[in-house]
Amino acid sequence: MRESMVREYRRGRLGRLEICDAQPELLRVARNLGRETDTECPICEHEQLVHVTFAFGPGLPPGGLPLTDLRELPKATRSGAEVACYVVEVCVGCAWNHLLSVFASGGPDR
């Protein structure tokens, strides 16, 4: 999906405003809590991407809980419930973003 979107942008079939659509809250979290990567943004080609992880589940904020480190998760989920974690790559320069991965964490066997 990521590669096809970038390819379509480079071919001119998608406009920058169509794909550089990160919400202000995602950009704020990326600037303040994002983990820097060595990956250059495939759209603007001059900023490094950052990774942001959000946890969603019982007892967490409706918009998700941004995490700087997965070791924070047990304290955040006192109920021991399983939570879904989403890792998003974000360019804080041009606002491009892409869901990189989803995984479950926590639960009774943590």
Which tens digit of pLDDT belongs to each residue from 51-75? 999 999 988 899 999 998 878 777 7
Confidence at 110, pLDDT banded by 50, 70, 90? very low
- Looking at residue 85, what is its pLDDT? 93
What pLDDT sits at residue 49?
98
The mean predicted confidence, pLDDT, of the chain is 91
Q: For residue 108, is pLDDT > 70?
A: no
So where are the chain's domains? 21-106
pTM, whole model, 2 decimals? 0.86
- The answer to whether residues 110 and 80 touch, using CB atoms and an 8 Å cutoff, is yes
pLDDT at 41: 98
**What single string gives the DSSP state of each residue in 41-92?**
PTTTSSSEEEEEEEEESTTS-TT-EEES-GGGHHHH-TT--EEEEEEEEE-T
